[in-house]
Amino acid sequence: MTKPLLEVRNLKRYFPITAGFRRKVVGHVKAVDGVSFQIAEGETLGLVGESGCGKTTTGKLVLRLIERTEGEILFHDNGSVIDLAALRGEELRRHRRHMQLIFQDPFSSLNPRMTVYDIIAEPLKAHGGLTRKDIQDRVKELIQAVGLNIEFMPRYPHAFSGGQRQRIGIARALALNPRLIVCDEPVSALDVSVQAQILNLLKDLQDRLGLSYLFIAHDLTVVENISATTAVMYAGRIVEMAPTETLFRHPKHPYTETLLAAVPKPDPEFREKEAVPKGEVADPSSLPPGCPFHPRCPYAQDRCRAELPALRAMGSAEHTAACHFSEGLALKGIESERNE
């Protein structure tokens, strides 16, 4: 691993559940419950899980769009380490320019009343210090960097297709030369043909600019394609994390196996060979005791119903999983190069 850029330690976010006239707090939704990970410079961490597992909340916490309940968000900046969670005001603003966000829905994330030029120029104006000429040059450069035509600058978002809008969103995110981009489901609203274009663009930009990505997605094939390391979240916790290839080939948590098996394979010969996963997505406001996955787990035993498993190393320090029985299970990952 190269130098770490972002280090998250034991991050928690609890949302209170209130009841009655006095709004008394009767419980907590543990949306993110003790998440730790590292992202190295120029690397991508993929964060996968079903809806409601806390992956988007984690992304927002890292950017401090919402406040943490507990934990540290350490940002490595030229040798010094800053805890983003403790910053306020001007100082926070200064460090935030290193981190940007790309959204899922390219239709609602661009202001319909602003031109493409204004959308991309906005962060440049907000962080100041540039002349009008500088801004113009930078916007042109950005538009070309994401594969659009500079003639598009005076147009409004409605004139563009989903893929083109997503490129505009990426140009906006790149405007301030960030070091980390949180990509929250950046391709799940796009057609497959366009999805491939955007993924290739994100990889190109990473190679050219040395960006780090926190890549949040529910589509495992997409995550496999872009991430060096993948973390699987369930009910607010990371249940397995490993280098992507290891995780996909040799999963150590039954939930990872379930997710991998559920992806529809683009090959009619494989139809119905895999077991259909059972149960519903976990409800973080009322989790079962013990391992939160046990009601859906085909391998659950008594211990799983009573005791919450901790994340522990599986063979190598890079591969961690939170399951009592990992060692005894022969879990099925994906086979390699099956389609060739």
Partner 1 sequence: MSTPSENRITAVNSRMETLLDIRNLEVRFRLREGIVRAVHGINLRIAPNRTIGVVGESGCGKSITAKAMLQILPSRGKITAGEMLLAPRDGGPATDLAKLHPKGPEIRRIRGGDISMIFQEPMVSLSPVHTIGNQITESVLLHRPASKPEALDRAIEMLRLVGVPMPEKRVNAYPHELSGGLRQRCMIAMALVCRPRLLIADEPTTALDVTIQSQILSLIRRLQRELGMAVMMITHDLGVIAETSDDVAVMYLGRIVEQAPVKELFRNPKHPYTQGLLDCIPRFGKGRDQKLTSIPGSVPDPFTTVPGCPFHPRCAKRIAGVCDRGVPPLLSKVGPEHRVACVLYDAPRPEAAS
Q: Is residue 328 a contact residue for partner 1 (CB under 8 A)?
A: no
Q: Is residue 263 a contact residue for partner 1 (CB under 8 A)?
A: yes
Q: Which of 269, 302, 317, 328 binds partner 1 (CB under 8 A)?
A: 269
Region from 123-131, 159-167, 171-179, 310-318 binding partner 1, contact rule CB under 8 A: 159-167
* CB closer to partner 1 out of 79 and 268: 268
**Residue 175 CB, nearest distance to partner 1 (Å)?**
24
Q: Which of 10, 108, 161, 285 binds partner 1 (CB under 8 A)?
A: 161
Q: Which of 67, 276, 286, 317 binds partner 1 (CB under 8 A)?
A: 276
* CB closer to partner 1 out of 26 and 159: 159
* CB closer to partner 1 out of 133 and 271: 271
Q: Which of 197, 250, 299, 300 binds partner 1 (CB under 8 A)?
A: 197
Euclidean distance between CA atoms 305 and 289, whole angstroms: 6
Q: Is residue 20 a contact residue for partner 1 (CB under 8 A)?
A: no
* CB closer to partner 1 out of 11 and 48: 48
Q: Is residue 151 a contact residue for partner 1 (CB under 8 A)?
A: no
Region from 11-19, 61-69, 169-177, 192-200 binding partner 1, contact rule CB under 8 A: 192-200
Q: Is residue 17 a contact residue for partner 1 (CB under 8 A)?
A: no
Q: Which of 112, 154, 266, 328 binds partner 1 (CB under 8 A)?
A: 266
Contact residues: partner 1, CB under 8 A: 50-51, 161-164, 191-197, 199-200, 203, 218-222, 224-228, 244-245, 248, 258-272, 274, 276-278, 280-281, 283, 334-339
